[in-house]
Amino acid sequence: MDSFAWIEYFNGSAAGQHVQQWLLSKKPVATPATCLTEIKRKRIREGRPWQKEMKAISLLSQVIPLTEAIALRAGDVSEVHFADALVYATALHLGGTLLTGDGHFKGLPHVEFLQID
């Protein structure tokens, strides 16, 4: 899951309900460690607490560290910006699907978009 998906989940939005369904499905869920940085920075900018959200992510998903293999794979992803390339490369490295609502990922394989109303 990427930062966009987690933020929607924590905000309790309609898109967040889609995330909740993923979490309830009992499929393995992973979060790139770089997403923790994005979420924390966003919450600090908003003046909102972030600690409980970090704990929830750790409890509900496996946090995947940035490895050399992921970093090198991200170097091949030219369709998106640097941080998004790291997130996408993590999903590809794990052989999974990236759950997001971020339009930057449109058209890429192995991406599932949140239902945003």
Show the domains of the chain with their CATH numbers.
3-113 (3.40.50.1010)
pLDDT score recorded for residue 26: 84
Q: What is the mean pLDDT of residues 93-115?
A: 94
- Among residues 71, 9, 72, the alpha carbon closest in space to that of 39 is found at 9
**pLDDT tens-digit profile of 48-87?**
999 999 999 999 999 999 999 999 999 999 999 999 999 9
**Residue 60 · residue 29 · CB < 8 Å:** yes
Average pLDDT score over the chain:
95
pTM assigned to the model: 0.93
**Residue 90 · residue 57 · CB < 8 Å:** no
Burial class (CB in 10 A: 0-12, 13-18, 19+), 57: buried
Q: What is the mean pLDDT of residues 96-109?
A: 94
Q: How confident is the model at residue 11 (pLDDT cuts 50, 70, 90)?
A: very high
Helices (H) and strands (E) in the chain, counts: 6, 4
Tokens 């908003």 label which residue?
Answer: 46
Q: What is the mean pLDDT of residues 27-47?
A: 97
